[in-house]
Chain A
């Protein structure tokens, strides 16, 4: 088996049980803990069989801006939460003028999203990274 670090040889990565990790901690509607956010107001994580989808509402000028429902990559998160196996998601949103490459995970009941924004429109805005926290709404 090929590897580039010892972690690539973790037996959990070939364990069928890892593929069916409980995703309950992630699924649902999440609300930003900061009501004054200028970023994402709300995140919805859905599951359809083995596939995960993420959509969001972001703060807009007059009304929220909808971030489209986008397929996510499910990732085993093997080394957090005191060794408990959990799921994380990676999802990339493409707006044409800008892309946002994100990952989401739950830590102590809080959903954390880290987003790397890359501008593609020549506006000379700096590409930027930010992190936001969400609590369950449902």
Chain B
């Protein structure tokens, strides 16, 4: 088995056909910063075993819907089957935004990598999101 660091090594039994379990990710995640100029909320849905993300971001005149995109799930180790993060890409033509999420202490820590095709400076933002559980 090839590995690029010791951590990569994990023997997975051939009969283990499980995928990464997205439990806990589905729902609406709200930015903890009410003054954000970026992503306001993320809505994660599951259909047919596939997870989709819909982003709504803050614009000068209200929310901007980025639409839905598929997300790739990541566990916390090669042998784990529990979701610990996800990644996806939005291509807006004038810019591309890569979203890289990591679950820490029940929050999603979202890194946004914005790369522009029109000469603006590429930039990075990291923000925190809490699940809107609707219980109280």
Contacts and interface: CB of A to CB of B under 8 A. Distances in A.
Given A58-B5, A90-B113, A128 B84 contact: yes
27 contacts: A3-B59, A4-B97, A5-B37, A7-B58, A8-B114, A13-B123, A39-B6, A73-B113, A75-B123, A77-B123, A78-B123, A79-B125, A90-B98, A100-B4, A103-B124, A105-B126, A114-B111, A116-B74, A118-B72, A123-B1, A125-B79, A126-B74, A126-B79, A126-B80, A128-B75, A128-B76, A129-B84
Interface of A: 1-10, 12-15, 18-19, 38-40, 58-61, 65, 67, 73-80, 88, 90, 93, 95-98, 100-101, 103, 105, 114, 116-119, 121, 123-131
Given A5-B38, A114-B100, A39 B75 contact: no
B56 to A, nearest CB: 10
Task: Name the 3 nearest CB pairs between A and B, nearest first.
Answer: A5-B57, A58-B5, A125-B78
Given A103-B111, A114-B102, A7 B80 contact: no
B61 to A, nearest CB: 10
Contacts of B60: 6, 9
A2 B93 CA distance: 10
A128 B124 contact: no
Contacts of A74: 122
**SS of A interface (majority):** mixed
Interface string B15-46: 01000100000000000000001110000000
A2 B85 contact: no
Given A13-B120, A18-B121, 9 more contacts: A1-B118, A4-B59, A4-B66, A12-B121, A75-B122, A117-B78, A125-B79, A126-B79, A128-B74
Contact of A129 (B4, B6, B102, B122): B102
B8 interface: yes
Contacts of B76: 128-130
Contact of B4 (A65, A73, A103, A127): A65
